[in-house]
A = this chain, B = another copy of it.
């Protein structure tokens, strides 16, 4: 018997047991419901694509993390490492079959051969949503509203969406005569949360001199409210301009929609160097600032320039499903349980199996999730099963109950029992809510 293969998964990969998987599906379902209320539609793309599509002709930095290999036809293929690149390819390929603006969401697995020492997984779920084909305030605001409604749908109220505009930042740098030092300045500002103000000042000084460092630190500081912050950065950017007007429009929409108190105009948010060209946002949970942003995104100039000459501006965000799950758990807001069975029909007489199955069918027709314990085992074993699956009620129908024409329903937590003359009456009491 030494030929048993040790059952194990690859490092950085995980099984999802029922409690975790139910939680994950519940979360995805709630998000999906929100997306659809806004008219976003789902798409899916292959897990495996041509490496050239995913990595561009050159390859590059991401390369090392990508699962890439030769398939049976000697094609150079790779597993997707995000949902943005496949979406860009998708839009370029299907533009003719679609319509613009196109609003899609995509919840799916991605794979990265990252170093697992930092607590990262090599397989994880991404949840992206984007509005493509329009460069307007409405789509920017929609993204913010979807983030807010998504978190509320998960029972999270204590969130803050931090908003900024890359264009205003660039105008400020230009007005300050610091455009050439932009990369170093952005890199320094990006570290504000992690490295602290002192370290950022030092880096800014090194990158652009003491005077500019002071002006940048003044620029990125939030004022007492959003309109004061907007006034300040507008002035610093050389006066009213389309980008500051865009921020004003978004704050106006937030006000009208009743979510202004969740929005922080925060000039220190830049979201890295390359991709975003307009608004950018991050979302933090007030109770868990240390986990960082649970939903980030922004506006980009051109989604699919690698694959098409059609210009596709867009705005979107990605929700970190795994991070959000962990957050909900540490906030005590996850509802992990081993099942959602409402009633276990105890197996008291093996010969009653057909009756148990008829009874189960009647309960299911009433929308009640129920199970028949399959074998006529000791009651203690059947109770243990119910407990393991957190089943709240048991139905007992043995020879004695049958002779008296009743069903006995027991609350498995309180052990209270009640008899019913018909399945219909029992079902009415067993229905949830």
Q: Using CB atoms and an 8 Å cutoff, list the residues of chain A in contact with chain B.
A: 1, 3-11, 13-18, 21-22, 24-25, 36-39, 41-50, 52-53, 56-57, 64, 67, 69-73, 75, 77, 79, 89-90, 92-94, 97-99, 101, 103-104, 109, 111, 113, 123, 131, 134, 136-139, 141-142, 145, 149, 249, 252-253, 255-258, 304, 306-309, 338-341, 344, 347, 353-358, 360-361, 364, 367-375, 384-385, 388-389, 391
B308 touches A4 (CB 8 A): yes
With a CB–CB cut-off of 8 A, which chain B residues contact A391?
39
Q: How many copies does the complex hold?
A: 2
Chain B residue at smallest Cβ distance from A11: B73
Report the bound CA distance from A50 to B9 in whole Å: 7
Q: How many Å from the CB of A267 to the closest CB on chain B?
A: 23
CA distance A48 to B78 in the complex (A): 13
- Bound Cα distance from A21 to B104, whole angstroms: 11
Q: A16-B42, A39-B391, A48-B123 are in contact. List 9 more A-B contacts (CB 8 A).
A: A17-B98, A38-B364, A38-B369, A38-B370, A39-B369, A131-B374, A139-B374, A253-B357, A256-B358
Q: Is the CB of A6 within 8 A of B123?
A: no
- Expressed in whole angstroms, the minimum distance between the Cβ of A314 and any Cβ of chain B is 11
Question: Which of B7, B46, B357 interacts with A123 by CB under 8 Å?
Answer: B46
A24, closest chain B residue (CB): B44
Closest 5 CB pairs of A and B: A256-B354, A69-B69, A138-B374, A18-B41, A39-B371
Q: Can you list 16 A-B pairs, Cβ within 8 angstroms, ordered by A?
A: A4-B308, A7-B93, A7-B308, A10-B49, A15-B44, A16-B42, A38-B369, A39-B340, A41-B389, A46-B123, A69-B70, A134-B375, A142-B372, A256-B354, A256-B355, A257-B358
A307/B6 contact (C-beta < 8 A), A42-B22, A69-B69 known: yes
The reply to whether B309 and A38 contact each other, CB–CB distance below 8 Å, is no
- Residue from the list B109, B249, B369 in contact with A36, Cβ < 8 A: B369
Please indicate the chain B residues that have their CB under 8 angstroms from the CB of A92 in the complex: 7
B375→A138 contact, CB < 8 A:
yes
- The answer on a CB contact under 8 Å between A253 and B17 is no
CB pair B1–A309 under 8 Å, yes or no, is: yes
The answer on a CB contact under 8 Å between B89 and A7 is yes
| A42 x B56 contact (CB < 8 A) | no
Residues of B within 8 A of A134 (CB): 374-375
Q: Known interface pairs A5-B52, A8-B50, A39-B371. Does A257 touch B357 (Cβ–Cβ under 8 Å)? A: yes
Nearest CB in chain B to that of A99: its residue: B388
Q: Report chain B residues within 8 Å CB of A344.
A: 39
B357 touches A48 (CB 8 A): no
CB pair A374–B39 under 8 Å, yes or no, is no
For A368, list chain B residues within 8 Å (CB). Answer: 37
Q: Which residues of B contact A99 (CB under 8 A)?
A: 384-385, 388-389
A384-B354 Cα distance, complex, nearest whole Å: 56
Decide: A361 and B258 in contact? CB cutoff 8 A. Answer: yes
A419 CB, min distance to chain B CBs, angstroms? 22
Shortest distance in angstroms between A114's beta carbon and chain B's nearest beta carbon? Answer: 10
Residues of B contacting A79 in the complex (Cβ-Cβ under 8 angstroms): 47-48
Residues of B within 8 A of A36 (CB): 340, 369
- Considering residues A50, A252, A255, which has the most beta carbons from chain B within 10 angstroms of its beta carbon? A50
Contact assessment for A94 and B50 in the assembled complex, using a CB-CB cutoff below 8 Å = no
Query: What residues of B have a CB within 8 angstroms of the CB of A367 in the complex?
Result: 37
Contact of A10 (CB < 8 Å), options: B75, B90, B137, B258: B75
B13 touches A341 (CB 8 A): no
Cβ of A97: which chain B residues have Cβ within 8 Å of it? Answer: 17
Residue numbers in B under 8 Å from A75 (CB-CB):
10
Contact of A39 among B72, B94, B341, B375 (CB under 8 A): B341
Q: Are A389 and B39 in contact (CB under 8 A)?
A: yes
Q: When the two chains form their complex, are residues A353 and B388 in contact, meaning their CB atoms are under 8 A apart? A: no
Contact of A256 among B6, B10, B11, B357 (CB under 8 A): B357
A306 nearest CB across to chain B (Å): 5
The answer to whether B338 and A13 touch across the interface, beta carbons within 8 angstroms, is: no
* Contact between B13 and A46, CB atoms less than 8 A apart: yes
CB distance from A387 to the nearest CB of B (A): 9
